[in-house]
């Protein structure tokens, strides 16, 4: 079946469908990961986006339910150079094509994703339509231009959990409230590995309700869209600062920056991939990280008397981590739970538990 990916600037990519027979609008971005397509497909942070994979062969190890990062796919569409119909993997439970069709995800193969990536790098991420239904190029370009962009759009409401969920670990030494803005499953797993009992709450949960759980710490999760549009989470975060240890990841990092009085801005084409180099400014160590974000915190907008920069992206020197100098609050823009290094950044979860331990000790003294 024929498929077309049409960009708002008039650029057209014709190929073949290997997903559902649907039409989807979204912001087209590129991802530089060589593996992990299933984790990308099921990452709620990709809500509202059509993802083009730069690695040329996708689907060759199939789909394994255990590797999902959430309950279902959230991205709007997938674009690849070549789709592998053969899944060579003893763990594989089904092929990627069947999985995408079952979940009504649009997908296109047979296009030059290198050309698409270079175009996005030059022109920037932009609105697009991926369709197997309407194959009229002019019509699709118009639909792309008329579609709603990500700036100012609250996508968190579409991916957050609807109720409290409890996750028990072996030790349960610390109680952590996870503010679910589209949290990945591996965040919960890493917290449990570090001795935490996790209570996942919907993104709209107010600060006082979170504090009523008497948590040892709060983790602000990843999620999709424009952080400045999710004002209720910013207000919740502001109400938690100084009252409980806080760790922010990705969108959670951006929410924290806004709650601390800073600003966010949209990157030209974002950071999407499993090979992003990040430097720890304290140790000088460089970690290879997984990232998925189109917005960034402006370090210059934060009060440097209270906030210090802890990590930077070595590709473009953008802010990748920050810490409050007086309060138990820190965050990173990348995904420490995603393990691309494979263990470069997981130490941050231990830092979080150390922070909670110190907070407990301080409360006992007072």
Could you say which of 97, 250, 253, 271 is catalytic?
Answer: 250
Report whether 233 contacts 162 (CB < 8 A): no
State the pLDDT at residue 169.
77
Query: Active site includes 250?
Result: yes
Report whether 167 contacts 33 (CB < 8 A): no
Q: How many CB atoms lie within 10 A of CB 266?
A: 16
State the pLDDT at residue 366.
67
Report how far apart the first and last C-alpha atoms of the chain are (Å, whole number).
Answer: 68
State the pLDDT at residue 38.
96
State the pLDDT at residue 364.
77
> What stretches of the chain show up as alpha helix (H) in DSSP?
37-41, 96-102, 113-123, 137-146, 185-193, 207-211, 231-240, 251-259, 347-365
Residue 47 DSSP class: B
Query: Active site includes 337?
Result: yes
Record the pTM.
0.95
Torsion angle of the four alpha carbons 249, 251, 253, 254, in this order, in degrees rounded to the nearest 10: 170
Q: At what angle do helices 185-193 and 347-365 cross, to 10 degrees?
A: 60
Q: Please report the domains of the chain, with CATH numbers, ordered by start residue.
A: 2-146 (3.50.30.20), 156-365 (3.40.50.880)
Query: Active site includes 293?
Result: no
- CA proximity to 108, closest of 43, 8, 22: 22
In the structure encoding, which two tokens stand for residue 209, read together?
């309700």
Phi, psi of 195 (to 5 degrees): 80, 25
- C-alpha 273/C-alpha 290 separation (Å) is 6
Q: Which residues of the chain have pLDDT under 50?
A: none
- C-alpha 13/C-alpha 99 separation (Å) is 23
Could you say which of 27, 69, 76, 337 is catalytic?
Answer: 337
Q: Report pLDDT digits (tens) over 318-338.
A: 999 999 999 999 999 999 998
State the pLDDT at residue 41.
97
Q: Report pLDDT digits (tens) over 178-188.
A: 999 999 999 99
In the structure encoding, which two tokens stand for residue 62, read together?
């199939």
Phi, psi of 261 (to 5 degrees): 95, 10
Could you say which of 119, 253, 311, 335 is catalytic?
Answer: 335
User: Which residue is associated with the tokens 């997908």?
Assistant: 107
């Amino acid at each position: 079946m024929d498929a077309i990916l049409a960009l708002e600037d008039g650029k057209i990519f014709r190929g073949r469908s290997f997903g559902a027979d649907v039409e989807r609008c979204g912001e087209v971005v590129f991802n530089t990961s060589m593996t992990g397509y299933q984790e990308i497909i099921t990452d709620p942070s990709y809500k509202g986006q059509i993802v083009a994979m730069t690695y040329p062969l996708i689907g060759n190890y199939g789909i394994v339910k255990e590797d999902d990062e959430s309950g279902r796919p959230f991205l709007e569409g997938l674009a690849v150079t070549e789709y592998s119909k053969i899944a060579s993997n003893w763990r594989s439970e089904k092929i990627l094509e069947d999985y995408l069709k079952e979940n009504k995800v649009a997908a296109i193969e047979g296009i030059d994703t290198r050309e698409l990536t270079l175009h996005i790098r030059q022109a920037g991420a932009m609105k697009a339509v991926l369709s197997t239904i309407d194959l009229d190029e002019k019509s699709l370009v118009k639909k792309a231009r008329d579609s709603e962009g990500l700036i100012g759009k609250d996508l968190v409401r579409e991916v957050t959990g609807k109720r409290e969920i409890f996750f028990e670990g072996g030790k349960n030494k610390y109680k952590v409230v996870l503010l679910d803005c589209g949290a990945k499953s591996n965040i919960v797993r890493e917290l449990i590995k570090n001795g935490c009992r996790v209570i996942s709450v919907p993104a709209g949960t107010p600060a006082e309700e979170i504090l009523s759980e008497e948590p040892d710490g709060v983790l602000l999760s990843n999620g999709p869209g424009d952080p400045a549009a999710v004002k209720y989470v910013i207000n919740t975060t502001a109400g938690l600062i100084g009252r409980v240890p806080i760790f922010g990841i990705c969108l959670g990092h951006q929410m924290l920056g806004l709650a601390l009085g800073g600003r966010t801005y949209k990157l030209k084409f974002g950071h999407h991939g499993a090979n992003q180099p990040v430097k720890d400014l304290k140790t000088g160590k460089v970690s290879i990280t997984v990232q998925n974000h189109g917005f960034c915190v402006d370090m210059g907008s934060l009060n440097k008397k209270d906030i210090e920069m802890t990590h930077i992206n070595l590709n473009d020197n953008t802010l990748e981590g920050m810490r409050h100098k007086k309060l138990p609050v820190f965050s990173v823009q990348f995904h420490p739970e995603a393990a691309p290094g494979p263990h470069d950044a997981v130490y941050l979860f231990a830092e979080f538990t150390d922070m909670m331990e110190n907070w407990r000790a301080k409360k006992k003294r007072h």
